């Protein structure tokens, strides 16, 4: 006899058809309401990922990649020789946010490593939190890990997917709020790796990846006209316009005075220019060929690198077209009049010498020479500053401008034009040590010391230990290694570099 309460196979299948509706979350974003505007100015930091100054026309690049941004520079301080402290997101962003060199904050390894525990509260958000509301957003998952570390001082931390076309990450779910770094190292970087091999999940991962690729290819097809090379993505796909719209909506509703940090993924690889910019730089100028460096990992051909550089430039132009709406909004809304707006990059991009992108052990100009623009509400005209400066200078300068104490820990100096000295021969470091353990002495890596016009680069690897020495004034493309011929100047800088390295390595022996 069948009981009325028996569940038949057919009933079960009917019920199962309702399961997909459980996958339709509609998370509501909540922004703080406007509060009374006080005397304190807002500080808005806009970071464009992998944005090299060597590809921007107002720094001397032959292609007009950013005409829209240039229109807004009438009252800005434009730094022509500004340098990132690291060559990829983790060290570059950490230095920008802490005012510390990578060998001090120790976030220089490739992967999920963050700032060392002893330094984790030494950051820009902690500096501004007592007087400003703080808001942080990044599309870059590795930068987001750093923001998770700093979350104690962040009033509003928007998730990576806040303005994206999709949300995929698990580590930044509220469930893992207190353990985002380890959750990322476990879930995203091990169990469900998105683009790598050796995932720890045998069954779920491949199925998940196929579904993801399928969905992303469907999105690519859907937006084929707007994005002929596919949609931009850092695991989560996004549209440039949506990202800018999201940022504008956030800027329109934050609590003032605010310290706001927006770290946008463009123009990071994969280069996904808008359709109208596709082919914009075909023909005409192209970069000269440079010899493949002995430490090149990619060994890409000149032809391929030329194509990559063209795609990169088209993508920068596309981003310029969209992001200029933020500057227009800041101007039209009056926010520009009550805010210091900083525009910079975490690191640059290097499509030369056989290398592609920024996964490299080289430290040449395109990889560390990044834009720095500061919009000063009290400025009456444009200032062009040619003194070499570093990413570690940004935090002390912003604190100074906001009338806050300059953090004692910061290793940077005040930027010239905002209280700092014009010291052309100061020492500026940049480094790459992605394969060196964070909690060990630096024994594998590349360290660059610049004392304008000289750059000494120290390649310190077990199978390749060498120095290179360049005159940036007469050889800005860094093609003539002067190390053997200019030994006197090189030796002075070598002693300084080795001394600094010994100092920072000391506590780890």
Partner 1 sequence: MAIEKPFSRLWDRFPHRQDVAYVFGGVVFIVYVWAVRGFLYQFSSLRLYHNLGDILAVFCYLMAFALLESLLITGILLLIGFLLPRQWFKEGFAVKGFLAVLVSGSAMVKLQGYLYSQQMHNYQMPSSTTLYGGAVIGFVLLLILIFLVQKVTVIRNLLLAFEERLQVFIYVFVPLGILGLFVIFFRNIR
Positions that interact with partner 1 (CB under 8 A): 1-3, 5-7, 9, 12-13, 107, 109-114, 175-179, 181-183, 185-187, 189-191, 195-206, 209-210, 213-214, 217, 270, 435-439
Chain position carrying tokens 């100047």: 489
What's the min distance (Å) between Cβ of 186 and partner 1? 3
What's the min distance (Å) between Cβ of 356 and partner 1? 14
Choice between 183 and 372, CB closer to partner 1: 183
DSSP string, 153-168: G-SEE--TTTTSS---
Which residue from 79, 73, 109 is spatially nearest to 94, judged by alpha carbons? Answer: 109
How big is the CA angle at 506 (ends 500 and 509), to the nearest 5 degrees?
Answer: 140
Choice between 151 and 496, CB closer to partner 1: 151
Choice between 121 and 190, CB closer to partner 1: 190
DSSP state of 369: B
What's the min distance (Å) between Cβ of 435 and partner 1? 7
What is the three-class DSSP state of 246? helix
How big is the CA angle at 121 (ends 104 and 504), to the nearest 5 degrees?
Answer: 10
CB atoms within 10 A of CB 70: 17
Choice between 6 and 288, CB closer to partner 1: 6
Choice between 63 and 168, CB closer to partner 1: 168
As beta bridge partners, residue 460 has 445, 465
What's the min distance (Å) between Cβ of 189 and partner 1? 8
Instruction: Name, in order, each residue with C-beta under 8 angstroms of 351's C-beta and a sequence gap of 6 or more.
Output: 300, 305, 308, 309, 312, 357, 366
Choice between 82 and 300, CB closer to partner 1: 300
Alpha-carbon span 501 to 221, nearest angstrom: 51
Token output for 60: 């001397």
Q: Where are the alpha helices (DSSP H) in 223-275?
A: 240-251
Choice between 303 and 488, CB closer to partner 1: 303
What's the min distance (Å) between Cβ of 305 and partner 1? 18
What's the min distance (Å) between Cβ of 259 and partner 1? 25
Alpha-carbon span 200 to 41, nearest angstrom: 48
Question: What phi and psi values does residue 190 have, to the nearest 5 degrees?
Answer: -140, -55
Alpha-carbon span 143 to 225, nearest angstrom: 31
Choice between 200 and 424, CB closer to partner 1: 200
What's the min distance (Å) between Cβ of 164 and partner 1? 18
Choice between 18 and 196, CB closer to partner 1: 196
Cβ-contact 277, 198 below 8 angstroms: no
The interaxial angle of helices 394-401 and 89-98, nearest 10 deg, is 30
What's the min distance (Å) between Cβ of 320 and partner 1? 25
What's the min distance (Å) between Cβ of 140 and partner 1? 17
């Amino acid at each position: 006899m069948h009981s009325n309460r028996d569940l038949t196979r057919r009933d079960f299948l009917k019920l199962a058809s309702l399961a997909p509706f459980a996958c339709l979350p509609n998370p509501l974003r909540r922004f703080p309401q406007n509060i009374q505007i006080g005397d304190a100015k807002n500080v808005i930091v806009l970071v464009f990922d992998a944005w090299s100054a060597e590809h921007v026309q107002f720094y001397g690049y032959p292609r007009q990649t950013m005409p829209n941004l240039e229109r807004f520079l009438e009252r800005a301080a434009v730094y022509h020789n500004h340098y990132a402290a690291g060559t990829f997101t983790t060290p570059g962003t950490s230095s920008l946010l802490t005012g510390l060199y990578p060998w001090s904050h120790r976030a220089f390894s490739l992967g999920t490593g963050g700032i060392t525990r002893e330094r984790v509260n030494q950051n820009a958000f902690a500096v501004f939190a007592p007087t400003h509301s703080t808001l942080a957003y990044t599309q870059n998952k590795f930068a987001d890990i750093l923001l998770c570390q700093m979350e104690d001082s962040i009033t509003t931390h928007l998730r990576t997917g806040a303005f994206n076309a999709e949300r995929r990450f698990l580590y930044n779910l509220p469930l893992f709020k207190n353990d985002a770094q380890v959750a990322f190292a476990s879930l995203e970087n091990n169990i469900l790796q998105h683009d790598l091999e050796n995932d720890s999940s045998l069954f779920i991962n491949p199925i998940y990846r196929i579904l993801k690729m399928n969905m992303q290819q469907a999105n690519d097809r859907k937006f084929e006209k707007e994005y002929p090379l596919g949609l931009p993505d850092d695991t989560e796909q996004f549209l440039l316009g949506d990202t800018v719209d999201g940022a504008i909506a956030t800027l329109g509703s934050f609590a003032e005075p605010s310290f706001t940090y927006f770290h946008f993924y463009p123009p990071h690889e994969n280069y996904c220019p808008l359709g109208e910019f596709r082919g914009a730089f075909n023909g005409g100028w192209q970069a000269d060929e440079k010899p493949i460096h002995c430490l090149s990992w990619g060994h890409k051909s000149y032809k391929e690198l030329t194509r990559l550089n063209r795609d990169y430039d088209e993508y920068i132009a596309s981003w310029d077209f969209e992001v200029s709406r933020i500057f227009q909004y800041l101007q039209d809304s009056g926010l520009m009049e009550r805010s210091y707006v900083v525009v910079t990059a975490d690191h640059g991009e290097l499509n030369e010498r056989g290398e592609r992108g920024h996964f490299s052990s080289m430290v040449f100009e395109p990889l560390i020479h990044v834009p720095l623009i500061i919009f000063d509400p009290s400025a009456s005209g444009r200032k062009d500053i040619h003194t070499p400066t570093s990413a570690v200078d940004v935090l002390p300068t912003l604190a100074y401008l906001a009338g806050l104490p300059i953090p004692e820990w910061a290793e940077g100096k005040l930027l010239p034009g905002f209280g700092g000295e014009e010291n052309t021969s100061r020492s500026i470091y940049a480094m790459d040590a992605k394969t060196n353990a964070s909690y060990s002495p630096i024994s594998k890596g590349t360290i660059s010391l610049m004392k304008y016009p000289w750059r000494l680069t120290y390649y310190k690897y077990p199978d390749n230990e060498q120095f290179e020495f360049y005159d940036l004034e007469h050889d800005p493309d860094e093609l003539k290694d002067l190390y053997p011929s200019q030994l006197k100047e090189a030796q002075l800088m070598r002693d300084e570099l080795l001394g600094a390295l010994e100092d920072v390595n000391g506590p780890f022996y």
